[in-house]
Structure 1
Amino acid sequence: MSSQDAVAGSHGSAAPVALRDLLVELNDLKRVRSAGRLGSIAERLFAQGWGALTGGAAPEDVALEVTATTLAACRLCDLDSAFLSAAGLDDEAVTDVLRAGFDAVATQVAEPLRSRLRDRLGQRAGLPVGPLPGFVAALAHQPRAGVTCPGKPRILLEPPENHAEHCLMVAVYGVVLSPFYRADPTTVFLAAMAHHFHNAAMPDAGFTGEMLLGDHLAPIMARTTQWALDELQPGLREAVERARAALPDDATAEGRAFHAADAIDRVLQIAQHLRAASLTMGTVLDEMELVHAGPVKGFHDRVLEAMRIP
């Protein structure tokens, strides 16, 4: 076992496989939408996170709030605090529902992080809200490149995710993975939320485009990253710059947590397309009980049989 393996996580493993199912399921929040709300849940949580940061909230509070909210949304989707309160639930009932959603998926999150996230769902005061920097909307409108490889045509899978969705998911993954790498979750969260600043202005041509830019790549990325950083107030900008120092490599615990999260999200984004393409009616009808138990299930079954469906 190498020295790097020894510090990667417990027992020398490069990543905590016990969190796999949670990360797979969370990835779908990049594709869940609701009437009256613009964008996916992941896209909106990216904006909420930056709004809280520019509003003066402590980055640690934002990391915990956004991560806890994302985990609760894994099963509840947009049955969130705002909706539940508007629908007439009191604060205690809202907390109970959110924690039930959290508990349904978070059993493998390491302590004490799990308890800190769960406790966060009982706080109704909320975080301050500041103005959204321009890069937030720009990243939400910037599609990811798809699968690219120098010398080969790209593979496009529709609909594409956007950079806001990717950054949010990597940030949440990074927080959940941080105990395994003994990394500071706040640093990982902030670095991930800011790791595609350059793509707010720079169209994403993927690995292929980056290689074709050659020596021009680094100065272009530095310039476009600085444009986004310049939208932040000095204190927040300095905190983001410090966090982004973990991005270049895996030499630190924070770098390992970030790069693990980034690689997992990139591959799971493609895996969900393949999973959908290989879906069978056996899974839909037998395992997922699309025609589920109830007073008319027998009739439903007879109708489908008579219609020779599927």
Structure 2
Amino acid sequence: MTAQTEGAGPAAPLALRALLVEVNDLKRVHSAGRTGSIAERLFAQGWGALTGGAPPEAVALDITAKALAAARLCDLDAAFLASAGLDEAAVAEVLVSGLDAVAGSVDPALRDRLRAALRQPATSVQGPLPGFVAALAHQPRAGVTCPGKPRILLEPPENHAEHCLMVAVYGVVLSPFYRADPTQVFLAAMAHHFHNAAMPDAGFTGEMLLGDHLLPIMARTTQWALDELDPALRETMERARAILPDDATAEGRAFHAADCIDRVLQIAQHLQAASLTMGTVLDDMELVHAGPVKSFHDRVLADMRIP
């Protein structure tokens, strides 16, 4: 993967496009007995690990590895596999297989570190979840807004926890291309919507209508979230958030690339669903898949004239 240099070459690694598109669906994967999407739950897991004292670098690798493995495995995660009787070695083998199924375009050195995170998961203690974690999970994103025009709402909306998690994972995966510190990018992404824990999201339109009140309100509501953290973690997050205002640093570029990619892919999946055809479903994706009753299924559909 060719690294990005300011003013020369591509601004983002096209080779990672397919992976980022696929991982984006973790915002929309749910399972019985588990509250929220996989992305929402990984956001909470990440914050629990951070408040529990886990090293931020380990948290960034752990959450990113779990997200990439879940792209194909969904909620066939370590907890489920262990409960179903697999030993630690078998669990690790399954999870690494899930990671490898999608991570061919990931920087090789980073991919090895992600594999290691799945093979030897950290034994961190989950700390108490700050109130902003649940608040962001309940705070819907604004949709498509533009000053002077009505909002375009696409249902169901993502929430801010899902968006922050996705940007954090994207940021880690994109970091080698920008020669950025993946841990700093991860932390900044996990914290970049602190203000929306208390501040409803009216999008760019609402921000412009607030005028000179916008920045003081954002600063105040961001501080409310920061104040929920212990002093050491608060200082760590404040340092990480320093990359947010611009793309002057490698970490800033990795973050802003991740942020804009996720924002656009969130809308793209709505458009993809609207344009889906039965040819794709039945022929390309083989909805009626191979098996002992495949021929009977085909005859049933043909005689019922479905589709």
Q: Structure 2-normalised TM-score?
A: 0.98
Partner residue in 1 for 2:294: 297
SS at match of 1:154: strand
Provide the residue aligned with 2:65 in structure 1. Answer: 68
Q: Is the 8 A contact 1:91 1:124 kept in 2?
A: no
Superposed counterparts of 1:106-185, under 5 Å: 106-185=103-182
Residue 202 (structure 2) aligns with: 205
- Aligned counterpart, 2:16: 19
Tell whether 2:15 aligns with 1:7.
no
Deviation of 1:124 after TM superposition, in Å, equals 4.1
Amino acid at match of 2:127: G
Task: Output one character per residue of 1:128-176: Cα deviation in whole Å (capped at 9) or x when no partner.
Answer: 2100000000000000000000000000000000000000000000000
Matched residue type, 2:204: F
Moved runs in structure 1, 4+ residues, more than 4 A? none
- Which of residues 225, 233, 238 in structure 2 aligns to 1:236? 233
- Give the C-alpha shift of residue 123 in structure 1: 1.4
Q: Give the Cα separation in 2 of the matches to 1:103 and 1:226.
A: 40
Kept after mapping to 2: 8 A contact 1:246/1:255 = yes
CA distance in 2, matches of 1:125, 1:261: 26
Matches within 5 A, 1:198-277: 198-277=195-274
CA contact (8 A) 2:58 2:122 kept: no
Q: Is the 8 A contact 2:171 2:258 kept in 1?
A: yes
SS of the residue corresponding to residue 12 of structure 1 reads coil
Q: What is the CA-CA distance between 1:6 and the residue it aligns to?
A: 2.9
Please give the alpha-carbon distance, in whole angstroms, between the structure 2 residues aligned to 1:244 and 1:124.
27
> Is this contact kept in 1: 2:5–2:178, CA < 8 A?
no
**Corresponding residue SS for 1:170:** helix
Match of 1:280 in 2: 277
CA drift of 1:216 comes to: 0.2
Paired residues of 1:7 and 1:181 also in contact (CA < 8 A): no
Pairing 1:78-117 to 2, within 5 Å after superposition: 78-117=75-114
Residue ranges of structure 1 left out of the alignment (5+ in a row) = none
Q: Summarize deviations over 1:16-63 as a string: whole Å, max 9, x none.
A: 000000000000000000000000000000000000000000100100
Could you tell me which amino acid in structure 2 is paired with residue 159 of structure 1? P
Q: One-letter code of the match for 2:61?
A: L
Q: Is the alpha carbon distance of 1:251 and 1:141 closer, same or farther for their aligned partners in structure 2, counting shifts above 3 Å?
A: same
Q: Aligned-pair RMSD on alpha carbons?
A: 0.9
Deviation, structure 1 residue 111: 2.2
Match of 1:196 among 193, 196, 211: 193
Counterpart-to-counterpart distance in 1, 2:245 and 2:171: 15
Give the C-alpha shift of residue 125 in structure 1.
Answer: 4.7
Displacement of 1:225: 0.1
**1:193 CA displacement:** 0.1
Q: Give the secondary structure class of the aligned counterpart of 1:112.
A: helix
How far apart are the structure 1 equivalents of 2:121 and 2:222? 35
Amino acid at match of 2:160: H
Aligned length, in residue pairs:
304
Instruction: Pick the aligned partner of 2:303 from 293, 303, 306.
Output: 306
The CA deviation string for residues 51-96 of structure 1, in whole angstroms up to 9 with x for no partner, is 0000000100100000000000000000000000000001111011
Deviation at 1:12, TM superposition (A): 1.4
- What are the Cα deviations for residues 109-128 of structure 1, in whole angstroms up to 9, with x where unaligned? 00211100011101145322
Gapped runs of 5+ residues in structure 2?
A: none
Counting aligned pairs with the same residue, the percent is 82
Whether the aligned pair in 1 keeps the contact of 2:179 and 2:250 (CA below 8 Å) is yes
Corresponding letter in the other structure for 2:245: P
User: In the aligned structure 1, how far is the partner of 2:40 from the partner of 2:294?
Assistant: 37
- Paired with 1:107 and 1:153, the residues of 2 have a C-alpha distance of 41
